[in-house]
A and B are shown apart, each in its own frame.
Chain A
Amino acid sequence: DSGVTQTPKHLITATGQRVTLRCSPRSGDLSVYWYQQSLDQGLQFLIHYYNGEERAKGNILERFSAQQFPDLHSELNLSSLELGDSALYFCASSVASGQRSTDTQYFGPGTRLTVL
Protein backbone atom coordinates (compact mmCIF):
# COMPACT_ATOMS: atom_id res chain seq x y z
CA ASP A 1 0.00 0.00 0.00
CA SER A 2 1.57 3.27 -1.19
CA GLY A 3 -0.48 5.49 1.11
CA VAL A 4 -2.08 7.29 -1.85
CA THR A 5 -5.82 6.79 -2.08
CA GLN A 6 -8.04 7.25 -5.08
CA THR A 7 -11.80 7.14 -5.41
CA PRO A 8 -13.79 5.72 -6.99
CA LYS A 9 -12.09 2.48 -8.07
CA HIS A 10 -14.36 2.06 -11.06
CA LEU A 11 -16.54 4.48 -12.94
CA ILE A 12 -18.86 3.70 -15.82
CA THR A 13 -20.52 6.56 -17.60
CA ALA A 14 -21.84 7.65 -20.98
CA THR A 15 -20.40 9.84 -23.68
CA GLY A 16 -20.90 13.54 -23.10
CA GLN A 17 -20.99 13.20 -19.34
CA ARG A 18 -18.74 14.74 -16.72
CA VAL A 19 -16.95 12.92 -13.90
CA THR A 20 -14.70 13.81 -11.01
CA LEU A 21 -11.85 11.63 -9.80
CA ARG A 22 -10.44 12.17 -6.36
CA CYS A 23 -6.96 11.64 -4.95
CA SER A 24 -5.57 11.92 -1.43
CA PRO A 25 -1.78 12.05 -1.30
CA ARG A 26 0.41 10.35 1.28
CA SER A 27 0.60 12.17 4.56
CA GLY A 28 3.18 14.94 4.27
CA ASP A 29 3.39 14.92 0.48
CA LEU A 30 2.84 18.30 -1.15
CA SER A 31 2.91 17.26 -4.80
CA VAL A 32 0.16 15.50 -6.69
CA TYR A 33 0.51 14.19 -10.24
CA TRP A 34 -2.16 12.82 -12.54
CA TYR A 35 -1.53 10.22 -15.22
CA GLN A 36 -3.64 8.47 -17.81
CA GLN A 37 -2.85 4.89 -18.78
CA SER A 38 -4.34 3.32 -21.87
CA LEU A 39 -3.33 0.24 -23.83
CA ASP A 40 -2.18 2.15 -26.90
CA GLN A 41 -0.61 5.21 -25.26
CA GLY A 42 0.93 3.78 -22.12
CA LEU A 43 1.28 5.95 -19.02
CA GLN A 44 0.93 9.60 -19.95
CA PHE A 45 1.58 12.52 -17.62
CA LEU A 46 -1.37 14.90 -17.40
CA ILE A 47 -0.70 17.55 -14.77
CA HIS A 48 1.26 18.30 -11.59
CA TYR A 49 0.22 20.37 -8.59
CA TYR A 50 2.49 21.43 -5.77
CA ASN A 51 0.98 22.82 -2.58
CA GLY A 52 -2.10 24.03 -4.39
CA GLU A 53 -0.40 25.53 -7.43
CA GLU A 54 -0.17 24.09 -10.90
CA ARG A 55 3.45 23.27 -11.69
CA ALA A 56 3.48 21.47 -15.00
CA LYS A 57 1.12 20.33 -17.71
CA GLY A 58 1.52 17.36 -19.94
CA ASN A 59 -0.80 15.91 -22.53
CA ILE A 60 -3.95 17.10 -20.82
CA LEU A 61 -6.97 17.84 -22.99
CA GLU A 62 -8.83 21.12 -22.63
CA ARG A 63 -11.90 19.11 -21.57
CA PHE A 64 -9.94 17.98 -18.52
CA SER A 65 -9.07 20.11 -15.53
CA ALA A 66 -7.64 19.56 -12.09
CA GLN A 67 -7.16 21.33 -8.82
CA GLN A 68 -5.46 20.78 -5.51
CA PHE A 69 -7.25 21.91 -2.39
CA PRO A 70 -5.84 23.43 0.83
CA ASP A 71 -5.95 20.02 2.50
CA LEU A 72 -3.77 18.82 -0.42
CA HIS A 73 -6.25 16.38 -1.88
CA SER A 74 -6.75 16.75 -5.61
CA GLU A 75 -9.57 16.27 -8.07
CA LEU A 76 -9.39 15.58 -11.78
CA ASN A 77 -12.47 16.69 -13.70
CA LEU A 78 -13.21 15.10 -17.06
CA SER A 79 -16.00 16.60 -19.13
CA SER A 80 -17.71 15.99 -22.48
CA LEU A 81 -16.45 12.44 -22.21
CA GLU A 82 -15.63 10.47 -25.33
CA LEU A 83 -15.14 6.75 -25.86
CA GLY A 84 -11.41 7.33 -26.16
CA ASP A 85 -11.25 8.70 -22.63
CA SER A 86 -11.75 5.19 -21.27
CA ALA A 87 -8.54 4.42 -19.40
CA LEU A 88 -6.94 3.98 -16.01
CA TYR A 89 -6.30 7.28 -14.26
CA PHE A 90 -3.54 7.29 -11.68
CA CYS A 91 -2.64 9.82 -9.10
CA ALA A 92 0.85 9.95 -7.62
CA SER A 93 2.30 12.02 -4.82
CA SER A 94 5.75 13.08 -3.72
CA VAL A 95 7.20 15.05 -0.86
CA ALA A 96 8.65 18.00 -2.75
CA SER A 97 8.21 19.86 -6.01
CA GLY A 98 9.28 17.04 -8.29
CA GLN A 99 12.31 18.69 -9.81
CA ARG A 100 14.78 16.31 -8.21
CA SER A 101 15.18 12.66 -9.04
CA THR A 102 14.94 11.76 -5.39
CA ASP A 103 11.38 13.02 -5.25
CA THR A 104 10.01 9.53 -5.57
CA GLN A 105 6.50 9.42 -6.88
CA TYR A 106 4.17 7.03 -5.08
CA PHE A 107 1.22 5.89 -7.13
CA GLY A 108 -2.31 5.21 -6.01
CA PRO A 109 -4.34 2.18 -7.10
CA GLY A 110 -6.00 4.08 -9.93
CA THR A 111 -9.54 4.74 -11.12
CA ARG A 112 -10.76 2.69 -14.06
CA LEU A 113 -13.00 4.86 -16.24
CA THR A 114 -15.23 3.26 -18.83
CA VAL A 115 -17.12 5.52 -21.21
CA LEU A 116 -19.96 3.79 -23.06
Chain B
Amino acid sequence: QKEVEQDPGPLSVPEGAIVSLNCTYSNSAFQYFMWYRQYSRKGPELLMYTYSSGNKEDGRFTAQVDKSSKYISLFIRDSQPSDSATYLCAIQGAQKLVFGQGTRLTINP
Protein backbone atom coordinates (compact mmCIF):
# COMPACT_ATOMS: atom_id res chain seq x y z
CA GLN B 1 0.00 0.00 0.00
CA LYS B 2 1.30 3.43 -0.95
CA GLU B 3 1.78 5.89 1.88
CA VAL B 4 -0.19 8.52 0.00
CA GLU B 5 -2.88 7.79 -2.57
CA GLN B 6 -4.17 10.37 -5.03
CA ASP B 7 -6.44 9.94 -8.00
CA PRO B 8 -4.32 10.93 -11.03
CA GLY B 9 -7.36 12.07 -13.01
CA PRO B 10 -7.31 13.72 -15.47
CA LEU B 11 -10.02 16.07 -14.27
CA SER B 12 -11.62 18.55 -16.64
CA VAL B 13 -14.14 21.17 -15.48
CA PRO B 14 -15.65 24.38 -16.88
CA GLU B 15 -14.38 27.77 -15.79
CA GLY B 16 -16.04 28.96 -12.58
CA ALA B 17 -16.66 25.47 -11.22
CA ILE B 18 -15.67 24.37 -7.74
CA VAL B 19 -12.90 21.80 -7.89
CA SER B 20 -12.28 19.18 -5.25
CA LEU B 21 -8.97 17.32 -5.14
CA ASN B 22 -8.35 14.57 -2.61
CA CYS B 23 -5.72 12.34 -1.08
CA THR B 24 -5.69 9.60 1.50
CA TYR B 25 -2.72 8.54 3.57
CA SER B 26 -1.91 5.51 5.63
CA ASN B 27 0.37 6.62 8.45
CA SER B 28 -1.47 8.29 11.31
CA ALA B 29 1.85 9.73 12.54
CA PHE B 30 1.89 12.20 9.65
CA GLN B 31 1.16 15.67 10.92
CA TYR B 32 1.97 18.17 8.21
CA PHE B 33 0.10 18.29 4.94
CA MET B 34 0.83 20.28 1.84
CA TRP B 35 -0.49 20.95 -1.62
CA TYR B 36 1.87 21.69 -4.48
CA ARG B 37 0.95 22.95 -7.92
CA GLN B 38 3.01 21.97 -10.94
CA TYR B 39 2.61 23.62 -14.30
CA SER B 40 3.72 21.76 -17.38
CA ARG B 41 7.51 21.62 -17.72
CA LYS B 42 8.02 23.37 -14.38
CA GLY B 43 8.97 22.32 -10.88
CA PRO B 44 6.32 21.96 -8.17
CA GLU B 45 5.54 25.07 -6.12
CA LEU B 46 4.04 25.10 -2.65
CA LEU B 47 0.43 26.23 -2.67
CA MET B 48 -0.68 25.64 0.90
CA TYR B 49 0.24 23.72 3.99
CA THR B 50 -1.76 22.73 7.06
CA TYR B 51 -1.03 21.09 10.35
CA SER B 52 -4.17 20.31 12.24
CA SER B 53 -7.51 18.90 11.27
CA GLY B 54 -9.88 21.49 9.88
CA ASN B 55 -9.87 24.05 7.12
CA LYS B 56 -7.35 26.63 5.98
CA GLU B 57 -8.28 29.26 3.44
CA ASP B 58 -6.10 31.29 1.09
CA GLY B 59 -8.06 33.28 -1.45
CA ARG B 60 -9.88 30.88 -3.75
CA PHE B 61 -8.13 27.87 -2.24
CA THR B 62 -9.18 25.90 0.83
CA ALA B 63 -7.19 23.02 2.28
CA GLN B 64 -9.01 20.58 4.50
CA VAL B 65 -7.57 17.86 6.72
CA ASP B 66 -9.49 15.08 8.42
CA LYS B 67 -6.97 13.17 10.51
CA SER B 68 -9.55 10.71 11.80
CA SER B 69 -10.19 9.55 8.24
CA LYS B 70 -6.63 10.18 7.03
CA TYR B 71 -8.08 12.28 4.25
CA ILE B 72 -6.96 15.62 2.87
CA SER B 73 -8.65 17.82 0.31
CA LEU B 74 -8.02 20.94 -1.71
CA PHE B 75 -10.95 23.00 -2.93
CA ILE B 76 -10.64 25.61 -5.64
CA ARG B 77 -13.50 28.09 -5.93
CA ASP B 78 -14.29 30.10 -9.05
CA SER B 79 -11.75 28.06 -11.00
CA GLN B 80 -9.82 29.85 -13.74
CA PRO B 81 -8.04 28.54 -16.85
CA SER B 82 -4.80 29.61 -15.17
CA ASP B 83 -5.48 27.00 -12.48
CA SER B 84 -4.89 24.27 -15.08
CA ALA B 85 -1.96 22.30 -13.71
CA THR B 86 -1.09 19.13 -11.86
CA TYR B 87 -1.85 19.27 -8.15
CA LEU B 88 0.19 17.12 -5.79
CA CYS B 89 -0.57 16.46 -2.18
CA ALA B 90 2.46 15.97 0.02
CA ILE B 91 2.84 14.78 3.55
CA GLN B 92 5.79 15.40 5.82
CA GLY B 93 7.15 12.09 6.99
CA ALA B 94 10.36 11.39 8.86
CA GLN B 95 13.01 13.46 7.09
CA LYS B 96 11.17 13.46 3.78
CA LEU B 97 8.13 14.61 1.89
CA VAL B 98 5.91 11.86 0.52
CA PHE B 99 3.98 12.93 -2.56
CA GLY B 100 0.78 11.68 -4.05
CA GLN B 101 0.67 10.73 -7.71
CA GLY B 102 -0.69 14.16 -8.68
CA THR B 103 -4.03 15.04 -10.28
CA ARG B 104 -3.94 16.70 -13.68
CA LEU B 105 -6.58 19.43 -13.74
CA THR B 106 -7.85 21.32 -16.79
CA ILE B 107 -10.17 24.32 -16.50
CA ASN B 108 -12.01 24.90 -19.76
CA PRO B 109 -12.91 28.51 -20.70
Binding site for B on A (CB under 8 A): 2, 4, 33, 42-45, 48, 55-56, 58, 90, 92, 98-99, 101, 104-110
Contacts and interface: CB of A to CB of B under 8 A. Distances in A.
Contact of B96 (A42, A56, A90, A106): A56
A45 B97 contact: yes
Given A42-B101, A58-B96, A104-B49, 6 more contacts: A2-B45, A44-B99, A48-B96, A55-B95, A98-B95, A109-B41
A90 B95 contact: no
Contacts of B92: 101
Interface of B: 31-32, 34, 41-46, 49, 51, 88, 92, 94-102
Q: Chain B interface secondary structure, helix, strand, loop or mixed?
A: loop
A42 B99 contact: yes
A80 to B, nearest CB: 25
A25 to B, nearest CB: 13
Nearest to A101: B32
